[in-house]
Structure 1
Amino acid sequence: MLAGHFGVSGMVKAWRPELPMGVLLVASQAPDILFLSLAAAGVESLEPVAGRSGYGSLLIHAPYSHALLSAVLLSAVLGLLVHLWARGRWGPDSGWVVGGVVFSHWLLDLLVHRPDIAVLTGGAGGLPYLGLGLWEFPLLAALVEGALVVAGTVLYAWRTLRDHPRRTRAVLYSVGVALLLVGSFVWDLLG
Structure 2
Amino acid sequence: MFVGHYAAAFALKGKEKSASLGMLFIATQFVDILFFPFTLLGIERLNLVENFTAVNNFDLEYMPFTHGLLGSFLWSAVFYALYYFIFAKNKADKKSIALVMGLGVMSHWFADLLVHTPDLPIINGDPKLGFGLWQYKGLTFALEAVLLIISLVYYLKKTTAKSGVGKYAAIGFVGFLLLVNFLNFYVLPSDDNLVSVAISALLAYFVLAGIAFWVDTKRT
Structure 2 residues without counterparts, runs of 5 or longer: 191-220
Partner amino acid for 2:112? D
Mapping of residues 35-54 of structure 1, within 5 Å: 35-52=35-52
- Structure 1 counterpart of 2:72, one-letter code: A
* 2:9 and 2:21 in contact (8 A); partners too: yes
Contact 1:56 1:136 in 2 (8 A): no
1:130-171 C-alpha deviation (Å, 9 max, x unpaired): 1121212222222211111212333333444xx23x222413
Question: Is residue 102 from structure 1 mapped to residue 101 from structure 2 by the alignment?
Answer: no
2:82 is aligned with 1:84: no
Cα distance, 1:117 vs structure 2: 1.2
Q: Mark the runs of 5 or more structure 1 residues left unpaired by the alignment.
A: none
Percent identity, please.
29
Structure 2 letter corresponding to 1:78: F
Size of the alignment, in residue pairs?
184
Describe the SS at the equivalent of 1:59: strand
Q: CA RMSD in A?
A: 2.4
CA contact (8 A) 1:27 1:102 kept: yes
Q: 1:186 to 1:118 in 2, by over 3 A?
A: same
Q: CA deviation at 1:116?
A: 0.9
Q: Cα distance, 1:187 vs. partner?
A: 4.6
- With normalisation by structure 1, the TM-score equals 0.83
Seen in structure 2, the aligned counterparts of structure 1 residues 184 and 155 have a Cα distance that, compared at 3 Å, is farther
Q: TM-score, normalised by structure 2?
A: 0.73
Give the Cα separation in 2 of the matches to 1:35 and 1:174.
28
Distance in 2 between residues matched to 1:178 and 1:69, nearest whole Å: 31
Q: Alpha carbons of 1:97 and 1:51: their partners in 2 closer, same or farther (altered >3 Å)? A: closer
* Counterpart code for 2:91: R
Q: How does 1:1-191 map to 2 (within 5 A)?
A: 1-52=1-52, 55-61=55-61, 62-85=63-86, 86-89=88-91, 91=93, 92-120=95-123, 123=124, 126-160=125-159, 163-164=160-161, 166-171=162-167, 173-175=169-171, 177-190=173-186
Secondary structure of the corresponding residue to residue 100 of structure 2: helix
In 2, the alpha carbon distance for the partners of 1:24 and 1:79 equals 12
The structural deviation recorded for 1:34 is 0.7
